Amino acid sequence: MALTLKYSTPSLNGTIQVPGDKSISHRSIMFGAMAEGTTTVEGFLLGDDCLSTISCFRKLGVEINLDGDKVSITSGGEASWQEPAEVLDTGNSGTTTRLMLGLLAGTSFHSVMAGDESIAKRPMKRINDPLRQMGADIRGRRDGQFTPLAIQGTKLSAIDYTLPVASAQVKSAILLAALKAEGTTRVTEPVATRDHTEIMLEHFGVKISKNIDTIEIEGGQKLTANHVKVPGDISSAAFLIGAALITPNSEVRLTNVGTNPTRTGILDVIRQMGADFEVEEWKTSGERSADLTIRSSSLNGIEIGGDLIPRLIDEIPLIALVATQANGTTVIKDAEELRVKETDRIAAVVEELSKMGADIEATDDGMIINGPTPLTGASVKSYGDHRLGMMAAVAALIASGDVSIDNPACISVSYPDFVAQLDSLIN
């Protein structure tokens, strides 16, 4: 059922704790399942993607208990995982699918992974290439390029690998497989991507070193169960940051938002656009966190590209919306990875914001937005992509007419209470 939103000259005021970081929540389950003993997690994201990860590990025989946003994972370590009798359903989650490939490749059993329609279109060759070089036996449609994938666990050996695409999922899959491989694996990333895997592996007692852009990890290391505090997800916070910036007379405080520097590209961008905001930061479980205060701001168009892109890749739909309200031209480039996300986010963002009256044009690797333009009501498609759904809901705050969003349920992939939390800020 579609969701129709209509706000008349709202302003946003109040304090929100955004839900837990999706990348860190996934890893807390995976690493807890790899460690012997009981791992406890607080601030876990109860979004559909992370629930898919939990369901996959339960099928491997790992005991996982949920109590609100607290989770406990009790495992006998990787050696105790059992051959799953059913297909491991990864839902809409690229992180579950790709990181689990790295984990399943080095087991002693057979498993099959499949997800939804969107997952079936997402490229898996980028993972299978390095894993096959390590000796992995992975089969699937078009020589393993697409799910469903069948993995016959086998012995792996270390590799030296340079990432051809800037992807934390590819990097992480290799690092996880490397723990089961014989020898020392080296992964070089020409452009830095989110380093939650490296930080959390260290938190679980694994020795991992980084020399300039090469990460080194020795096979055969065991993880020690630990406690993980998950900060709020900056990729979810981004939608409320954007909402506060473009809605007049607003001041919003977002508490305990993860500010790992590999994720804070959005803050660099809004600073450069001239936003009025404050950041008060601290550190927990090896990760940085902050309280953010964001006020309505007069913004200017800027150019966004290069090394900044992996630091804000998931925030681009929201940034494009904000840019429609900025003075001048915003150019987003070097972001061709957007074409293989939950949907083709270049085509989808341009199509849907155009419907609302934005002056926006797609390029091969990004988009060009001229602002400011008033937005009108429209019937907006989410493409089943959570970030498109949230972009449309934020656009509704400033649109002159009704905004109706199809399949709004997809928002629960990363932010189940988004619409209710946004509503709670409205005066």
Pick out the residues of the known binding site.
22-23, 27, 94, 122, 167, 169, 314, 341, 345, 387
**400 to each of 248, 250, 298, 348, 373, how far by Cα in Å?**
14, 18, 19, 21, 12
Query: Nearest distance from residue 126's CB to ligand S3P, in Å?
Result: 8
Closest to ligand S3P by CB, 23 or 404: 23
Closest to ligand S3P by CB, 240 or 313: 313
Query: Nearest distance from residue 161's CB to ligand S3P, in Å?
Result: 15
Which positions touch ligand S3P (CB under 6 A)? 23, 95, 167-169, 172, 194, 313-314, 337
Extended beta strands in 248-308, E state: 251-258, 276-284, 287-295, 303-304
CB atoms within 10 A of CB 79: 11
Give me 203's structure tokens.
């938190």
Residues 254, 199 contacting (CB under 8 angstroms)? no
314, 344, 359, 406: the catalytic one is: 314
Give me 253's structure tokens.
């405080």
CA atoms within 13 A on the CB side of 110: 4
Residues 209, 135 contacting (CB under 8 angstroms)? no
Q: Is 334 a catalytic residue?
A: no
Query: Nearest distance from residue 392's CB to ligand S3P, in Å?
Result: 19
Closest to ligand S3P by CB, 53 or 247: 53
Closest to ligand S3P by CB, 317 or 371: 317
Closest to ligand S3P by CB, 332 or 398: 332
Q: Which residue has tokens 């939103």? A: 5
Query: For residues 341 and 330, what is the distance between their CA atoms, to the nearest angstrom?
Result: 22
Query: Nearest distance from residue 169's CB to ligand S3P, in Å?
Result: 3
Extended beta strands in 115-226, E state: 137-140, 146-152, 156-157, 160-162, 181-182, 184-188, 208-211, 214-218
Q: Which residue has tokens 């490397």? A: 178
Query: Nearest distance from residue 297's CB to ligand S3P, in Å?
Result: 26
Q: Which residues are catalytic?
A: 314
